[in-house]
């Protein structure tokens, strides 16, 4: 199968390119004759402001902060709010919870989509993914075409409400030291995510 990592075919993930943290893994997969990756994310920590386009905040949202690596610096309360795109002030809550646009602190583990040449090749990927800890992985054969495999896990995922927007200002719903705790939790999950990626890589190579 044609390589997906070349410049002529960009990664279909929102970033449009392959995260450096899994570049070697993606290159190894695409070097195999039976596989081609279609989209990927190495795992990320984000702070996301909901959009106001529809119920549930879909449409018009924006990223306030995003990283694909653990944040190793010790930040004081002022710095952590500035880093995450939040205002530092007393914790408060929206007057109308039904219409408020909330700010989420999220950790999302690696997700990788790929096509396989055969069902047997897809099964090998799926087995490797499940053994590595990506327990929500799955495969399907859309319209009798090449099997599509999704390598993913929700076990490490984290999604916490930490604020809301009031006018043009993002207000905190939590104390800054809680944000510091969340950053610490995200750093640990980055470590676990990296271990799972390496287990998947080794299982697929065996």
Q: Is residue 92 part of a domain?
A: yes
- How do residues 8-48 score in pLDDT, each as one tens digit? 344 555 555 788 999 999 999 999 999 999 999 999 999 99
- How do residues 40-92 score in pLDDT, each as one tens digit? 999 999 999 999 765 554 567 899 999 999 887 778 888 999 999 998 888 89
> Cα–Cα distance between 75 and 82 in angstroms, integer?
10
Q: Is residue 7 part of a domain?
A: no
Q: Is residue 170 part of a domain?
A: yes
Calculate the alpha carbon distances from 142 to 62, 83, 101 in Å.
Answer: 32, 42, 36
Contact 205, 131 (CB under 8 A): no
Structural domain boundaries enclosing 34: 20-205
pTM (2 d.p.): 0.85
Q: Is residue 1 part of a domain?
A: no
What is the residue whose two structure tokens read 């697929």? Answer: 204
- How do residues 159-193 score in pLDDT, each as one tens digit? 999 999 998 899 999 999 999 999 999 999 999 99
Q: Is residue 4 part of a domain?
A: no
Calculate the alpha carbon distances from 153 to 82, 158, 193 in Å.
Answer: 30, 11, 10
Q: What is the domain-level CATH number for residue 72?
A: 3.30.1960.10
- Among 108, 113, 91, 131, residue whose Cα is nearest residue 190: 108
* Structural domains counted in the chain: 1
Q: Is residue 120 part of a domain?
A: yes
Q: Is residue 11 part of a domain?
A: no
Q: Is residue 47 part of a domain?
A: yes
């Amino acid at each position: 199968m044609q390589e997906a990592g070349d410049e002529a075919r960009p990664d279909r993930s929102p970033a449009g390119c392959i995260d450096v943290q899994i570049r070697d893994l993606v290159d190894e997969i695409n070097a195999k004759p039976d596989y081609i990756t279609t989209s990927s994310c190495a795992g990320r920590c984000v702070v996301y402001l909901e959009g106001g386009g529809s119920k549930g905040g879909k449409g018009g949202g924006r990223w306030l902060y995003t990283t694909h690596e653990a944040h190793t610096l010790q930040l004081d309360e002022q710095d952590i709010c500035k880093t995450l795109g939040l205002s530092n002030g007393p914790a408060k809550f929206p007057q109308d919870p039904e219409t408020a646009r909330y700010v989420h602190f999220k950790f999302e583990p690696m997700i990788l989509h790929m096509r396989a040449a055969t069902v047997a090749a897809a099964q090998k990927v799926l087995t490797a993914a499940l053994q590595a800890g990506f327990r929500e992985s799955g495969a399907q054969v859309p319209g009798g075409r090449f099997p599509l495999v999704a390598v993913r896990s929700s076990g490490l995922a984290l999604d916490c409400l930490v604020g809301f927007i009031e006018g043009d200002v993002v207000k905190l719903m939590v104390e800054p030291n809680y944000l510091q705790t969340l950053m610490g939790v995200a750093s640990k999950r980055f470590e676990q995510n990296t271990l799972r990626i390496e287990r998947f890589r080794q299982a697929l190579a065996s």
